[in-house]
Amino acid sequence: MIPKMMFGRTGHESTRTLFGAAALGHVTQAEADATLEVLLRYGVNHIDTAFSYGEAEDRIGPWMAAHRQDFFLATKTGERTYQAAREQIRRSLERMRVDYVDLIQLHNLVDPAEWETAMGEEGALRAAIEAREEGLVRFIGVTGHGVTAPRMHLKSLERFDFDSVLLPCNYLMMKNPQYAADFEALLKVARERNVAVQTIKSLAVGPWGDKPRARSTWYEPLEDQADIDRAVHWLLGRQPQVFLNTSGDIHLLPRILDAASRFREAPSDEEMEAMVARLGMQPLFV
């Protein structure tokens, strides 16, 4: 089974490896139901989805009648204005056939202009707070992609007391001195305020470039089990404060969860550098 850790201040003990439900965006219900069996087999108890993840929320909906109590359920709104976010939050509940979600997140909030709108008087944050007051959501978080994500999350935490943050983290990204410094600064504030920290893109080899897209992920992921082990074990071992969100492909999910279930210690830098060189890995964000 996969180890658990308290998800920030929420009172929920989540598996350190969370299910990234972007993987359900373009699959059949039968494929989604088979994925549920994989999650249950490994004891994964936290689902992270978004309104914008294709049909993912619709695929999760049929699970909820029998399994709502088994999962901490998180979704995201990418809307920036109050009214649009208000409507989207309620639509997410309808799609997933639930009365509430545990966590609503402002999705990929890194653009400064969008940030000002979302955090403003008539912004998406107001809709999230209102939903919390109405019992439609329990907690509020913020997510981001790209190299500015940790800095923008720090700015967000100065404006509002978010319960969670989500951002990229893998070996190559942490080789970027500025990103690593910003990431560590965010971790420090998160520790002080008991904010949950979720990470994405742990398996990224780099952009697809001219290669044929063999997976549903928008980046090229690691494939070999031993390489997946290294990436997963590096993150779980070198970043003991964070959660790992699984990649957006249901066929990679069993390999990621298998790696997480066998975690003992992080690989050495020498092992990681050898893998980077062998696969020609490149930073996903620059």
Q: What is the CATH number of the domain that holds 223?
A: 3.20.20.100
pLDDT digits (tens, 9 = 90+) for 158-168: 999 999 999 99
pLDDT for the residue 249 = 97
69-84 pLDDT, tens digit each: 999 999 999 999 999 9
pLDDT of residue 1: 82
Instruction: Tell me what the pLDDT averaged over the chain comes to.
Output: 97
Mean pLDDT of 266-283: 97
Average pLDDT over residues 249-256: 98
Whether 284 is covered by a domain: the verdict is no
- Within a domain: 286: no
Question: pLDDT tens-digit profile of 191-247?
Answer: 999 999 999 999 999 999 888 998 999 999 999 999 999 999 999 999 999 999 999
- Report how far residue 156's alpha carbon sits from residue 174's, in angstroms, rounded to the nearest whole number: 22
Within a domain: residue 114? yes
Prediction pTM value = 0.97
Alpha helices in 138-263 (DSSP H): 149-159, 177-193, 225-238, 253-261
- Give the pLDDT score at 231: 98
* pLDDT tops 90 at residue 286: no
In a domain, 285, yes or no: no
In a domain, 156, yes or no: yes
Is residue 113 in a domain?
yes
Q: How far is CA 99 from CA 46, 92, 137, 156, 178, in A?
A: 17, 10, 9, 28, 42
Q: What's the domain range around 38?
A: 4-279
What Cα–Cα distance (Å) separates residue 157 from each residue in 109, 140, 193, 233? 12, 11, 10, 29
Rounded distance, CA 196 to CA 166, Å?
8
Classify residue 27: in a domain, yes or no: yes
| pLDDT tens digits, 91-119 | 999 999 999 999 999 999 999 999 999 99
Number of domains in the chain: 1
| 130 found inside a domain | yes
Give the integer Cα–Cα distance in Å for 72 and 89: 16
